[in-house]
Amino acid sequence: MQLQLINHSQDLKRLRDEGYEIEVRGGYLLIHHIPYLNQQQHLQYGILVSTLTLANSTMTATPDNHVIHFIGENPCEMDGSVISAIQHSNANNKLGEDITVNRSFSNKPVTGYPDYYQKVKRYADIISAPAKYKFPDVTEKTFKVIADSGNETVFQYIDTNSSRANIDVISKKMSGQKIAIIGLGGTGAYILDFIAKCPVEAIHLYDGDRFDQHNAFRSPGAASTEDLNEQLPKVVYYQRKYSNMHKHIHAHDYYLTKENLHELKTMRYVFVCVDNNAVRKLITDYLAEVKVPFFDVGLGVNVVDDKLTGAVRVTTGTPDKHDHLPIRIFSENSDNNDYATNIQIAELNALNAILAILKWKKLCGFYVDMENEHHCSYSIGVSKIFNEDATA
C-alpha cells in the first residue's frame, strides 16, 4: 500500500522525489531525519508525524488539521531558546502500537494546508532553519533508499528515478514480461544491466560457461579478485550481482539445445547473445516458429593497419516480421572475425546492448519508433547507423 499511495498522491510523491525520508505507517505519515538544535545548541534529528487523511486506498486527501507531532526534543533557535511560534503541546502521546510522539506543533496558514507537501515542508523549514544555518552541510533531504518492504514491486527498493521523471505510466508498459537473455559473455551482460532496472516480471539467464578473468574486462561493473577466484558460472555470478536490485532473476547454468529450447516458449521477449552461428540459427528459427519476439545481437571486429574496424548489429524477429531472417542470420561460422580472439572491446558490447534495448523498448511502446526497422547496424569506421528491413 505504501508504494501505491506515494505514487498516486502527488504531494507524497513530491516529498519523496525531493529527498525527504517519508514513511506511511498505519494512518500516519512519518518524515524522518529532520535536523534541529536542542537547548544546548547541539545538532539533533527528529521525526515529524502527521495524521494521514485519504481520499481512497491509494490517494491522499486534504490534511484534516494543521497540527503536526514530533519525536525528539524541543527544537530551538540559535541561542538555545525554544522556537515558541510553533509550540502546541509538550506531552508524550502514543498514537499507535509503535508510534509514540513527544510533543506537537501548531502553525496554521490562513487558508490551511492544501496538501501534505506544503504541511511537511513548512514545519521542516521552521524546525531545521537554525540547525542548517549553524551547520551549512546539514539537510533533511537525504534521498535515503526506501526499501520495498511490502513486496509491492519487482525491485528490492522503490524506483524513484521513474517517478522523479514522471514516466511511471510509460515504464509500466514493460511490467509483467518474462525476459530471457541467452549468453552472458559481454553484450548479454550489458543487456542484463539495463533490463534489471526495468519493471519486468522475471529475467531468465542462460549460459553454460564460467565467469572468467577475461569476461571481467568486457562486462559491466568491476569484478573483484574474490569473485574471479570463486569460478562461478556466469549466470550465478550475474544473478548475485543484479539480485541486489531486481528480485526475480533466474539462473540456468547450461546451454540451450534442441532438447530444452521449449523453455523459451513462455518468454515475452528473448535476447540472443551467442557467438556461434549454428547455435544462433537453431535458437532464432525456433523462436520464429513459436512466435516469440527476439533480438539477435552480433559484433564483428577486424584489425586493419593496427586499428580495429567493424560493426555491431541487432536483428529483430517478430510474429509479424521474420521474412528477412534468412539473409541476416547464417548457420555457418566465419573465420574473418577478430572478436573470437577475445579482444577487449567493452564499449562495443555496451553499444550492441544499447541498440538492442532501444529496439525492445520501442516494441514495448516506451519509445517512439518511426523507422520500424528490424535490422540495425552501426559501422565503426564511418560512425553511421543503418536501418533496414522495415515494416510497412
Average pLDDT over every residue of 152-157: 83
- Give me the domain span that covers residue 106: 2-134
Q: What region does 276 belong to: left with phi over 0, alpha with psi -120 to 50, or beta? A: beta
The burial class, CB within 10 Å (0-12 / 13-18 / 19+), for 1 is exposed
Domain annotation covers residue 146: no
What is the predicted pLDDT for the residue at 162?
Answer: 74
What lies within 8 Å, CB to CB, of 203 at 6+ separation is 179, 180, 181, 192, 195, 196, 242, 246, 248, 249, 250
Q: What is the pLDDT of residues 196-238, one digit of tens each?
A: 999 999 999 999 999 999 899 999 999 999 999 999 999 999 9
* Residues 165-201 pLDDT 10s: 768 779 889 999 999 999 998 999 999 999 999 999 9
pLDDT of res. 4: 75
Neighbouring residues of 300: CB distance < 8 A, sequence distance ≥ 6:
310, 311, 312, 334, 336, 337, 339
- Computed on alpha carbons and rounded to an integer, the radius of gyration of the chain in Å comes to 27
**Tens digit of each residue's pLDDT (9 = 90 or more) over 290-302:** 999 999 999 888 8
- Report the candidate in 156, 155, 337, 177 with the shortest Cα–Cα distance to residue 271: 177
Q: Is residue 306 part of a domain?
A: yes
Which residues make Cβ contacts (< 8 Å) with residue 100, sequence separation at least 6? 71, 92, 93, 94
pLDDT at 158 over 80: no
Residue 107 is classified by DSSP as -
Q: Note the pLDDT of residue 341.
A: 46
Same domain, 235 and 357: yes
Q: Which of 112, 134, 156 is the last residue of a domain?
A: 134
First to last CA, the chain: 44
pLDDT band at 144 (very low <50, low <70, confident <90, very high): confident
Which of 73-77, 163-167, 368-372 is predicted with the least confidence, judged by mean pLDDT? 163-167
pLDDT at 69 > cutoff 50: yes
- Say which range, 16-25, 91-100, 302-311, 342-351, has the weakest mean pLDDT: 342-351
In a domain, 123, yes or no: yes
Percent of residues, the chain, with pLDDT higher than 90: 76
Average pLDDT over residues 311-325: 96
Mean pLDDT of the region 248-265: 97
- In terms of domains, do 248 and 354 share one? yes
Provide the pLDDT for residue 362.
98
Provide the 3-class DSSP secondary structure of residue 307.
Answer: strand
Q: Is residue 377 part of a domain?
A: yes
Same domain, 173 and 75: no
| Total count of domains within the chain | 2
Q: Return the beta strands (E) in 157-198 as ranges.
A: 178-182
Identify whether the C-beta of residue 241 lies closer than 8 Å to the C-beta of residue 235.
no
Same domain as 253, residue 202: yes
Residue 27 has pLDDT above 60, yes or no: yes
Q: Which CATH number do you get for residue 199? A: 3.40.50.720
Residues 185 and 280 in one domain: yes
- Per the CB < 8 A criterion, the answer to whether 277 and 332 are in contact is yes
Place of cell 513530491: 14
Residues 124 and 177 in one domain: no
Task: Assess whether pLDDT exceeds 80 at residue 249.
Answer: yes
Alpha-helix residue ranges (DSSP H) falling in 185-224: 187-195, 213-216
Entry pTM: 0.75
Summarize pLDDT for 30-64 with one digit per residue, the tens: 999 999 999 999 999 999 999 888 888 788 999 98
Question: Do 226 and 99 share a structural domain?
Answer: no
Mean pLDDT, the chain, rounded, equals 91
In this structure, the answer to whether residues 121 and 188 fall within a common structural domain is no
What distance in Å separates the CA atoms of residue 74 and residue 88, rounded to the nearest whole number?
A: 11
36 in Cβ contact with 44 (< 8 Å) = yes
**301 occurs within a structural domain:** yes
Same domain, 46 and 127: yes
Pair 124, 239 in one domain: no
Residue 149: what pLDDT? 61
Is residue 39 domain-resident?
Answer: yes
In a domain, 141, yes or no: no
Distance CA 392, CA 379 (A): 25
Q: Within 13 Å, how many C-alpha atoms sit on residue 249's CB side?
A: 27
Residue 140 falls within a domain, yes or no? no
Cβ-based neighbour number of residue 234 at 10 Å: 24
- Residue pointed to by grid coordinates 512466435: 291
Contacts 24+ apart (CB under 8 A), 174-177: 174/198, 174/199, 174/200, 174/361, 174/364, 174/366, 175/199, 175/200, 175/201, 176/200, 176/201, 176/268, 177/201, 177/268, 177/269, 177/364
Same domain, 123 and 225: no
Q: What is the pLDDT of residue 244?
A: 95
Q: Are 142 and 21 in contact (CB under 8 A)?
A: yes
Pairing of strands 178-182, 202-206: parallel
228 plus 345 within the same structural domain? yes
Round to whole Å and give the CA distance between 130 and 134.
Answer: 6
The share of the chain scoring above pLDDT 70, in percent, equals: 93
